[in-house]
Chain A
Amino acid sequence: MLRKLHKYANPNKFSLIIMPIKNVCLYTALPLIAIGLIIGLFFSPPDYQQGETVRIMYIHVSSAWISLFAYVLIFFLSVFYLIWKFPLFVLMAKEIPFVAIIFTLITLITGSLWGKPTWGTYWVWDARLTSFLILLFIYLGLIFIDKAFKYNVNGDLSFSYLSIIGAINIPIIKFSVDWWNTLHQPASVIRASGPSINIEMLIPLMIMSTGVLLLFFYLIFTNIQSAIAEKKILFLSSKD
């Protein structure tokens, strides 16, 4: 099984494979996001406690999920790189932090704009908010390592080790609302007893999240193709 996958570890072949997938992702993402925005902003009901401010949820929660999912992806790609030493794994992992940090920034800013009318403040050093801020700094660290050790095996290893160490923050983010008393509300969608959120809010949230996830994949795949082309440039330049 693993040997069959070896042929796809060739960057050029991989670049060709993701080309059509990437386009499908973009052309599915854009209408989904548009539908999610229209339903979320104009047709979904206001919350009985939070009123209209609940509409921020559709962009805040979907961005937060992408930020966490992106890190899980980096973690597994780094582990695979350390086990099998395929350069493609770390090349892919290194293209994620820049995209993920924007989603993390969106989560923090929209969360802060949601916090002011709901909690009366833009920021509190609450466990969920603080652990999410730490995630932003971990992404920054990964970006700095990538820039500092471009095209260097030591850089690839440092990147992989840091991303594995940083993964400890992911369960802390997820369970911070259960382990500590926080101003941030507990999970209402991804929880053992099923979603507690109203179906009229859950539908636009899922549409939006799927759209944003596909957009994230489009951006990552485009970045991976660019990184593969950059390596070709390096090879061709070295011939001069």
Chain B
Amino acid sequence: MSELSLIFEMNGYGFFIWSAYGVWFVLLILLFLKVLLRKKEIKRKLEYLIEKNDGFEE
């Protein structure tokens, strides 16, 4: 338990270090989701249009 609290405290700088890593993690996850959701949406639209155009793609 005390070892865990030492890790979180980081000699009194825990707030700054963990906040920085938290911001880094959240922003990267949001970016990742944004990129993947865009890809998914475009794929869905493209499949619908290809089907509508009787399978003509090029």
Contact = CB atoms under 8 A, between A and B. Distances in A.
A114 B20 contact: yes
B39 A59 contact: no
Nearest to A236: B49
Interface in A108-135: 109-110, 113-114, 116-117
Given A52-B10, A233-B49, A219 B23 contact: no
Given A42-B7, A55-B10, A117-B13, A102 B39 contact: no
A52 B36 contact: no
Given A102-B28, A106-B27, A219-B32, A113 B20 contact: yes
B20 A52 contact: no
B23 to A, nearest CB: 5
Nearest to B34: A98
Given A106-B27, A229-B42, A52 B57 contact: no
Interface in A88-103: 98-99, 102
Given A113-B20, A117-B13, A222-B36, A105 B27 contact: yes
B16 A117 contact: yes
Contacts of A52: 10-11, 13, 17
A180 B12 CA distance: 32
Interface string B24-38: 100110111011101
B28 to A, nearest CB: 7
Contacts of A223: 35, 38
Nearest to A232: B46
A110 B38 contact: no
A92 to B, nearest CB: 15
B35 A55 contact: no
A208 to B, nearest CB: 10
B46 A233 contact: yes
A44 interface: no
Interface of B: 7, 10-11, 13, 16-17, 19-21, 23-24, 27-28, 30-32, 34-36, 38-39, 42-43, 45-46, 49-50, 52-53, 56-58
Given A56-B20, A99-B35, A105-B27, 20 more contacts: A41-B21, A51-B11, A52-B13, A53-B16, A55-B10, A56-B16, A63-B24, A106-B23, A106-B24, A106-B28, A113-B19, A116-B16, A222-B35, A223-B38, A226-B35, A230-B42, A232-B57, A233-B46, A236-B50, A239-B53
Interface of A: 12, 37, 41-42, 46, 51-53, 55-56, 59-60, 63, 98-99, 102, 105-106, 109-110, 113-114, 116-117, 215, 219, 222-223, 225-226, 229-230, 232-233, 236-237, 239-240
